[in-house]
Amino acid sequence: MTTLKVIFLADTRPGHYHLAEGVIAALARLRPVEVTRILVHRRWIVPTRWLRRRINANSFYPPRMLRMAYRIEAEALPKADLVVSAGGETQMPNICVTRFLGTPNIFCGSLLRGLGPENFSLVISSYDRDAGSPRHMVVLKPSSIDPEALGRPATVPRYGPDHHPRLAGLLIGGNAGPFRYRRGEWERLLDFARGLSKAWGTRWLVSTSRRTPDFVADRVAELAKNESVIAHFIDYRTAGPGTLPDVFRKAEVIVCTEDSSTMVSEAVSARLPVVGVAPKAHRFTDEESAYREFLVRNNWCRVLPIAALKPETFAAAVAEIEPIKENPLDALAARLKERLPALF
């Protein structure tokens, strides 16, 4: 088939651009894909409310907005068959590029107030509230992680009190929005990891993130000197992003701090049992709470308070999990083909 030329508008937040990368990876299951990635930086002097008014005005001229607000020259854009983006800061440039080039477009995420779904060919959402909208497609949060390429089994053994994993992944985030971790909670999380190793003989693959406090990463580095507890430590401060596949490839179960919906979803997409752990001080938006309930309802993950973490509660939680058997990329590709048949 001919190559599908995609303009990928990306912000700087991994939790956003990883969603768009997941969509592009699914597209590549259907057609060869050529991607032009354009980094979106809005000039701080241009307020969102002004952009929203202009984009809905009869006099709206996409090249002017792209140049003034984002320093993107419309005339320099390559020819494209599709525009893809994720994250609020990419919504308006997505609309601008689409109207200028006359191409279909896909947006991943929640729409800003005043920007309706009619501005997009398809809006990919993970929230049940959007299920009735003809322009929305509600799916598991997209991820470019391919469980088959990682060597993940289609059927995962059931772990629990009588079957302990040899290798577990621990994905550590940090404070974000209403999520606030106390120092004592970080200590308890690491004590749990150490205690599980002693009780079960389980070793850990640990990865921090850009939000992880330095003192927590330092404590993990110290703990990593004990190879009977930590088999491998990936320090975000030196490794940077994009290292989670290394954990997913080898781990048998995942423990993930609940502040990152993307980390939880990516682990689920990798066909792994996932136990989310939450601090006492946390709160989800209504839509995010509904998404987490969706994951739990499908038995893809369970959630425990950090205060309740111990081998017995962890064993009971992981025993209830039934990981996804299908390849989420193939499932997403099938839905995209159904919703945007003209592209395929």
pLDDT tens-digit readout, 17-38? 999 999 999 999 999 999 999 9
Nearest to 287 by CA among 126, 94, 151, 66: 126
Answer whether residue 295 is part of any domain.
Answer: yes
Alpha carbon distance 230, 123 (integer Å): 41
Residues 45 and 120 in one domain: yes
Q: What is the mean pLDDT of the chain?
A: 94
Q: Residue 43, Cβ neighbours under 10 Å: how many?
A: 9
Question: For residue 205, what pLDDT is reported?
Answer: 98
Answer whether residue 241 is part of any domain.
Answer: yes
Residues 119 and 178 in one domain: no
DSSP, res 215: H
Residues 223 and 334 in one domain: no
Question: For residue 113, what pLDDT is reported?
Answer: 82
Answer whether residue 10 is part of any domain.
Answer: yes
Residue partners of 330: CB distance under 8 A and separation at least 6? 26, 29
Answer whether residue 81 is part of any domain.
Answer: yes
Asked whether the predicted pLDDT for residue 1 surpasses 90, the reply is: no
Instruction: Classify the C-alpha dihedral 213-216-222-223 as positive or negative.
Output: negative
Residues 315 and 335 in one domain: no
Instruction: State percent of the chain over pLDDT 70.
Output: 100
| C-alpha distances out from residue 103 to 40, 180, 327, Å | 19, 42, 29
Residues 138 and 172 in one domain: no
SS3 304: strand
Residues 68 and 196 in one domain: no
Query: Rg of the chain's alpha carbons, rounded to an integer?
Result: 21
Provide the domain limits for residue 119: 4-145+328-343
Answer whether residue 62 is part of any domain.
Answer: yes
Asked whether the predicted pLDDT for residue 308 surpasses 90, the reply is: yes
Asked whether the predicted pLDDT for residue 118 surpasses 80, the reply is: yes
The phi-psi region of residue 111 (left if phi > 0; otherwise alpha if psi is between -120 and 50; otherwise beta) is beta
Residues 79 and 23 in one domain: yes
Six-digit token pair at 288?
């995010």
Mean pLDDT, range 78-93, rounded to an integer: 95
Answer whether residue 134 is part of any domain.
Answer: yes
Question: For residue 46, what pLDDT is reported?
Answer: 74
Answer whether residue 157 is part of any domain.
Answer: no
Residues 109 and 218 in one domain: no
Question: For residue 14, what pLDDT is reported?
Answer: 84
What is the total count of domains within the chain? Answer: 2
Assign residue 300 the CATH number of its domain: 3.40.50.2000
Residue partners of 184: CB distance under 8 A and separation at least 6? none
Residues 46 and 120 in one domain: yes
Asked whether the predicted pLDDT for residue 47 surpasses 90, the reply is: no
Cβ(129)–Cβ(327) below 8 Å: no
Nearest to 104 by CA among 2, 31, 17, 6: 6
Element (DSSP H or E) covering residue 170: strand 167-171
Question: Confidence class of residue 128 from pLDDT cuts 50, 70 and 90?
Answer: confident
pTM over 0.85: yes
Which tens digit of pLDDT belongs to each residue from 218-269? Answer: 999 999 999 999 999 999 999 998 889 999 999 999 999 999 888 999 999 9
What are the DSSP calls for 313-332, one per residue? HHHHHHHT-----S-HHHHH
Alpha carbon distance 104, 3 (integer Å): 15
Question: For residue 217, what pLDDT is reported?
Answer: 97
Mean pLDDT, range 288-297, rounded to an integer: 91
Question: For residue 262, what pLDDT is reported?
Answer: 85
Alpha helices in 121-213, H assignment, sequence order: 183-200
Asked whether the predicted pLDDT for residue 161 surpasses 80, the reply is: yes
**Which stretch of 2-6, 93-97, 199-203, 288-292 has the lowest confidence by average pLDDT?**
288-292
Answer whether residue 41 is part of any domain.
Answer: yes
Residues 204 and 310 in one domain: yes
